[in-house]
């Protein structure tokens, strides 16, 4: 509340803790943004399944 008795609200955006690292790492964020732009422009290539690299025993944090 300010001196005039008005309630002031500050807009915020929340980011899940497990994703916050990306916004702190400018190089990684830049690479993700570039990848999204390339994908939207149709510049992606199908490299097949990566299922063989998945660790099915890991649980989502």
d(CA 20, CA 17): 5
- Stated pTM of the model: 0.56
47: which 2 tokens?
Answer: 């490299």
Position of tokens 């702190």? 24
28 vs 45: CA distance, rounded Å? 20
Low-confidence ranges of the chain (pLDDT < 70): 56-61
| 29-39 pLDDT per residue, tens | 999 999 999 99
Cα–Cα distances (Å) from 4 to 10, 19, 50, in that order, read 17, 39, 60
């Amino acid at each position: 509340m300010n001196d005039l008795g008005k309630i002031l609200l500050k807009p915020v955006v929340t980011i899940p803790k497990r994703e916050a690292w990306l916004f702190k790492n400018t190089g990684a964020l830049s690479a993700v943004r570039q990848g999204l732009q390339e994908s939207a422009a149709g510049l992606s290539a199908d490299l097949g399944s990566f299922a063989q690299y998945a660790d099915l025993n890991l649980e989502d944090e």
